[in-house]
Structure 1
Amino acid sequence: MTRDSVRRSSESTGDADASEDNAAYLNRVADRLEHSYDLDWERHVHGESFELYGRLRIEHRKQFLHPSITYADHGSHEHLFVRRTSPVKRADLDRLVELGHTLAEEWIDPDETHYSTEFTFVLIAPEITDAVRAFVDGFRDRTLLKLGFYGHYEVNLVVVAPERQEFVASTNAEIEAAFAPWDRQEPNPEPGGWFDRLVGRLRS
C-alpha cells in the first residue's frame, strides 16, 4: 500500500476533511520514523490489518583490545504496528495484547544473544475515552524468557487522537516524539529523546 492509497482508503471512513487530515497525519508520522525504522505500508498479521508497520533492530557488542575480539553480543528489536480505528474499545486493546504474545512465540529466537523485543501497537482514533486512557496509562506487560537469561519481551499500547492533540501510552512505549509532536517539551541540553533512551538501555 502506498501513501496515496492510504489517503484514498481513508475517504470511506467518515468525514472527508477529517479523513484527509488523518491520512496526512499518518504520512507525517512515517516521515519521522523512516530514519530509524524499516517501514512497510500495510501489514496483515493473524487476521489483524495495520496500515503502517515498522521494524527497528539494534545490535550491541563489546570489544576487547581489538574490534575482532567481541563479547556480550546481543540484539534488541522493536516491532511497531499502526492503524486508524473508531472508536477504540477495551476489547480492541485486549486483542492486540494477545496478538503481541502470539507474535513473541513465533518471532523471537530465545537464546543468550537475545536482549529484548518490543511489540508496540498504536491506534489512531478521533478521541480517547476516560476508560481507554486509564487502562493504557497503567498498562505494562513484560515477560522474562528463561528467567531473563534469554532476555525479555514487552507489549506496549499507544492511543492517539491527533485532531484533539491527545496521546496516551503504556509505561515503556517511548515513541511520543513521533506520534505527539505537539506535546514536546523545551529542548533538553542532555540527550533524552526516545531513540537515545532506547540506545541507552542497551548500553546499561
Structure 2
Amino acid sequence: MSEKATPEELPAEIREAVPDWDDEYLDRVSDRLMYNYDLEKDRRVGGERWDLYGEMRVLSQKQFFHPALSYADHEAEEYLFARRESRPTVAELEQLVDLGHELADERVVPDEEHFGTDFTFVLVADELPDDVREFVAGFRDRTLLKFGYHGHYEVNLLVVVPEAETYVASEAADVVEAFTLWEDVSAPEEGILSRFAKRFWR
C-alpha cells in the first residue's frame, strides 16, 4: 500500500467493517490501522476496557512448485490495545505487562507453525512523566516457547501524547507510525506482506 493510499481506495466491505470513533484522534489512527488490522471499539479484555482493539494475522509459507504443496508454514499475530489515560504511571504499565503474559497463556498456541505473537498496549496520554518515558524506552519483553522451537511472544508498550506531538515506544513497538499522526508514514520499498514477514522474522 503506498503512502498516498486513502481509506476510499479500500474495498467497500473493508471500509464498512471499520467502526467510527467519536474520539477524532483515534478515528484518524484507525484510518492508518485499517489496512492491516481488524478493528473494534470499546472492547473489554482481561477486565479492562479498550477504546480501540485490533487483531492482525500473517501466514508465511513456502511452496514447492504448486500452492497445494506448501511447507514451512508459520503464523504470526498481533493483538493491539489502545485507550485514553490522562497521566500514565509505571505501575499501570507493569500491570499491562502482566496482562500481556496472561493473554499469552490464553491465546498463544505453541506449536511448530507458531512463529510469533505480539501484545501491544498503547496509552494515549495528556502528559508523559519522566519515569514513564524511562521505563518504556528501556523495555523489551520477549518470551521464547520451548527454546524457540514453538516461536515466541512479545509484549510491547507505547505512550503517546498527541497534543505535545511526543511519544515513547518500547524497542519492538512497530505500530508507533500509526499513532504519530504528525509524522508521515514511511514509504514502503516492497510489498506489505514481505514487510510484515521481515518484521516477524527478525
Alignment TM class, shorter chain as reference? 0.7 to 0.9
Matches within 5 A, 1:141-156: 141-156=141-156
Q: How has the CA–CA distance of structure 1 residues 34 and 182 changed in structure 2, closer, same or farther, with 3 Å as cutoff?
A: same
Deviations 1:97-153 (A, max 9, x none): 000000000001110010000000000000111111111011000000010000000
Cα contact 2:64–2:71 (8 A) shared by 1 = yes
Aligned Cα root-mean-square deviation (Å): 2.1
Once the two structures are superposed, residues 30-55 of structure 1 have per-residue CA deviations (whole angstroms, 9 ceiling, x without a partner) of: 11111110001111112111011000
- Distance in 2 (CA, whole Å) between partners of 1:144 and 1:188 is 32
Aligned equivalent of 1:201: 199
Say which SS state the counterpart of residue 181 (structure 1) adopts: coil
Letter aligned with residue 201 of structure 1 = R
Q: Once superposed, which parts of structure 1, at least 4 consecutive aligned residues long, lie more than 4 Å away?
A: none
Aligned to 2:61: 61
The offset of 1:177, in angstroms, is 1.6
Deviation at 1:198, TM superposition (A): 2.7
Partner of 2:92: 92
Q: CA deviation at 1:199?
A: 2.5
Within 2, Cα distance between the matches of 1:76 and 1:129? 33
Instruction: Report the counterpart of residue 34 of structure 2 in structure 1.
Output: 34
Instruction: Identify unmatched segments of 5+ residues in structure 2.
Output: 1-18
C-alpha distance in 2, partners of 1:126/1:83?
A: 12
In structure 1, the partner of 2:112 is 112
Deviation at 1:192, TM superposition (A): 10
Percent identity, aligned pairs only, is 51
| Structure-2 change in CA distance of 1:111 and 1:183 (3 Å) | same
Q: 1:49-198, aligned counterparts within 5 Å?
A: 49-184=49-184, 190-191=189-190, 197-198=195-196
Query: Per-residue deviation at 1:189?
Result: 7.7
Matched to 1:200, the amino acid is K
Question: What are structure 1's unaligned runs of at least 5 residues?
Answer: 8-22
Aligned equivalents of 2:168 and 2:191: distance in 1? 19
| Residues 29 and 181 in structure 2, CA contact (< 8 A), matched pair in contact too | no
User: TM-score, normalized by length of structure 1?
Assistant: 0.83
SS of the residue corresponding to residue 52 of structure 1 reads strand
Highest RCO, 1 vs 2 (Cα 8 Å, sep ≥ 6):
2
Alignment size in residue pairs: 184
TM-score by length of 2: 0.84
